[in-house]
Structures are given as C-alpha cells and as structure tokens.
C-alpha cells in the first residue's frame, strides 16, 4: 500500500509540474559564463530526476552515477535506453536544485581556484515577470575533473527577487 501511495505521489508531483505556463519561455538554461563547465547535461526523455531531493550534487564516478536516484520512465520508446554516458576520467557531473519562476534567466558558472584549492558552482537567477508557477531545476552541468583535495561550494544568487 505504501508503494502505491509513493507512486501516486510521484505521478501527482509530475502532473502538477505540467501546467499551462510555458516554463521554458524566457528561461535560458544554456547560458554558461566561463569557468570549467564543458556543457549542460540532460538525462534525456526516458529519465526523470523528480525524486531527487538533495540541494546539490557532485558525481565523480560511474558507481555514484548509477546510484543516483534517477527514475526510468515506463514508455515503450524507452525500453532499451540506458543512462547517457559520461566519461568520468575527464568530467564530473554537478547540479544545484533551484526553484524558478517561468520568466527567468539563469547563468551557470563553475570556478576553479587553484590557489585556494576550491571549486565553486554559482547560479545567478535574474527574475523577470513571474507567471505564477514554480519549476524545480537541477541545473546539471559537466565540468572538467579536479583534484580530490579541492573543497566544493555551491551558491545561488537571486537578482530582482
């Protein structure tokens, strides 16, 4: 019974995220502002990250990637699809959970500071006119690998809140 309630809850959250507001209008998720980001990352149409509840992620190897709680969608077209490949010898996967209004520009930047041995993933959110609906974004990016002894920080800045 608990499993049924959990599945119904996941479906309800998914359906609530599909409202009449076009969440991509005015939202520029591919706006990268330098640093060590190599590209944005998308799990594709056959996977959902709706169940992920952490505030931020850093995935450094295949084992952690496979243990990430990503849901495979039960669609006929997804029957033989596997998670997108990531070459963890040259890239790490990072993400920050944000709640976005429908009309917002997001700038992503990952800064590597070799002197202080730090990595900082910065999200800047510039709010425009809100449409009344919120969208949760994971802001996945692939970054170049960095040494294990570097400290990692995650920052979200909101302009015009």
pLDDT at res. 48 = 82
- The tens digit of pLDDT for each residue in 93-110 reads 999 988 876 667 788 999
Task: Give 63-115 as a DSSP string.
Answer: HHHHHS-PEEP--GGGTT--PPP--TTTEEEEEE-EEEESSEEEEEEEEEETT
Q: Residue holding tokens 């990595």?
A: 119
pLDDT at res. 18 = 38
User: pTM of the predicted model, to two decimals?
Assistant: 0.74
Q: What is the dihedral of CA 137, 143, 149, 150, to 10 degrees?
A: -70
48's CB contacts (< 8 A; 6+ apart) are 14, 70, 71, 73
- The tens digit of pLDDT for each residue in 105-140 reads 788 999 999 999 999 999 988 876 666 666 778 899
**Pairwise CA distance, residues 120 & 110, whole Å:** 5
């Amino acid at each position: 019974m608990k499993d049924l309630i959990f599945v119904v809850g996941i479906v309800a959250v998914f359906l609530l995220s599909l409202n009449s507001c076009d969440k991509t209008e005015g939202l520029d998720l591919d706006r990268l502002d330098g640093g060590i980001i190599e590209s944005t990352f998308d799990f594709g149409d056959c996977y959902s990250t709706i169940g992920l509840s952490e505030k931020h992620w850093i995935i450094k190897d295949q084992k952690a990637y496979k243990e990430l709680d990503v849901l495979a969608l039960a669609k006929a077209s997804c029957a033989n699809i596997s998670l997108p490949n990531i070459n963890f010898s040259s890239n790490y996967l990072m993400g920050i959970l944000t709640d976005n209004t429908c009309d917002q520009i997001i700038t992503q930047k990952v800064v590597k500071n070799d002197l202080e041995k730090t990595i900082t993933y910065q999200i800047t959110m510039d709010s425009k006119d809100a449409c009344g609906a919120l969208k949760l974004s994971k802001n996945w990016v692939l970054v170049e690998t960095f040494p294990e002894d570097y400290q990692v920080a995650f920052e979200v800045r909101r302009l015009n809140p």
